[in-house]
Amino acid sequence: MGLACEMSGLWPNSPEMATLAARNAAWHAVASRGLWRYMRQKVLHCLTPTPQGPISPCPPETTAPVLTARAHQIGERIDFKGLERADSFSKNPLAFRTPAGGTVVLFKTGTAVFINMTPIEEEETIRGLGARVGDPLSEREVETAQIVTGAEDDTVTTTGVIQLKTDDPPRLLLIADALAGSVSMALVERNLGGAFDRVSHVARSFKSRTLPGGNSAGILQQLGESLDIQSRLAGRIGMVDKPDVLWDHPELERLWTKLIDDYDLKSRANAIDQKLNVIRDSAKTLGDLLATRTSHRLEWYIIALIVLEILIGFYDRFWK
């Protein structure tokens, strides 16, 4: 104590030291009164009168449950024939609860959405679909979202967490629809990437003043690929249309708007539509090119027949 006082310039019995000690005691008294006041308010807040007794303790703090929603693009389509269930709460898309408390939502466009299910349960459900999955994909498109229930309002946070008032079927259907649209667009974007490579090849051929494909068979192949892309993607054009559940629950329109904004569905759909228009124009150009080649070939055949007829006429006139 003496050494500490000497280092601070104060002696134990000096008036300055006495003043410092008095201030320190006063500070501790004020701090003690403040702590007591805080603890008293906390106890009064946590102990409230109830009909069963004079007081009841505060309930323990709980955290909002977090659900995981995962969408798998497992094929080009899913056949619902034979999958009808009495406990389903939606027919198209087909949605039902599992015995373990999860939710399954199946779309005819080949998407399966699972909510509050483990990866093992998801794979078992996919395997159970079997041959009902048309053109199964070797490389799936997957989208995952976190859902928090018990919120004051239905919204989507800046980090992508979906907050719901409750996990009732209409809200889960909206989330499943948004996730299904996102993975379907991801598949479309992947397919369009390969198609655009072929369109670029055609454009480079025209730019270098050469014909693409080299022959009619090559042009027919490229035309067939373009038409195949258009036919397979035709059923996915309305991926951001208003879901049917909103007709019965218009109060969820705001949640749907936030979901399509979060997953950027509208701008992605517009980009896909523009790329499809380019592919259509490319297919039309290839079709016109093939028709032009065919007409030119027919013209040469006609010219050859005319020349042959003239030669036969000369032969009959001068050499017979």
pLDDT, tens digit, for every residue of 53-67? Answer: 544 455 454 466 789
**Packed helices 253-262 and 265-318: angle between N→C axes, nearest 10 degrees:** 60
Distance CA 266, CA 260 (A): 7
- Give bridge partners of residue 164 from the DSSP assignment: 149
Q: How confident is the model at residue 43 (pLDDT cuts 50, 70, 90)?
A: very low
Helix (H) / strand (E) element for 247: namely helix 245-248
Instruction: Tell me the C-alpha distance between 2 and 9, whole Å.
Output: 10
How far, in Å, CA of 191 to CA of 155, rounded? 32
Q: What's the pTM value of the predicted model, to 2 decimals?
A: 0.67
* 141 against 31, higher pLDDT: 141
Query: How far is it between the farthest Cα atoms of the chain?
Result: 154
The reported pLDDT for the residue numbered 74 is: 96
The CB-based long-range contact list for 293-297 (8 Å cut-off, 24+ gap) reads: 293/211, 293/216, 293/219, 294/216
> Beta 162-164 vs 141-149: how paired, if at all?
parallel
Closest among 170, 127, 122 to 144, alpha carbons compared: 122
More confident residue, 223 or 302: 302
Please report the pLDDT score of residue 118 as a whole number.
95
Please, which pLDDT band fits residue 281 given cuts at 50, 70 and 90? Answer: confident
Does 6 have pLDDT greater than 60? no
State the pLDDT confidence band at 51, using cuts at 50, 70 and 90.
low
145, β-bridge pairs: 69
- Asked whether the beta carbons of 94 and 82 are under 8 A apart, the reply is no
Using DSSP's 3-state secondary structure scheme, residue 79 falls into coil
Q: Where are the domains of the chain?
A: 66-178, 181-242+255-294
Q: Which pLDDT belongs to residue 208?
A: 65
Q: How confident is the model at residue 165 (pLDDT cuts 50, 70, 90)?
A: very high
Structure tokens at 124: 């078992």
Tell me what the mean pLDDT of segment 15-29 comes to: 52
CA-closest candidate to residue 177, choices 254, 240, 268: 240
- Given phi > 0 = left and psi -120 to 50 = alpha, else beta, which region is 168? beta
User: pLDDT tens, 115-158?
Assistant: 999 999 999 999 999 899 998 998 999 999 999 999 999 999 99
Count CA atoms within 13 Å of residue 183 on its CB side.
28
214: left (phi over 0), alpha (psi -120 to 50) or beta: left
Lowest mean pLDDT among 34-38, 139-143, 253-257: 34-38
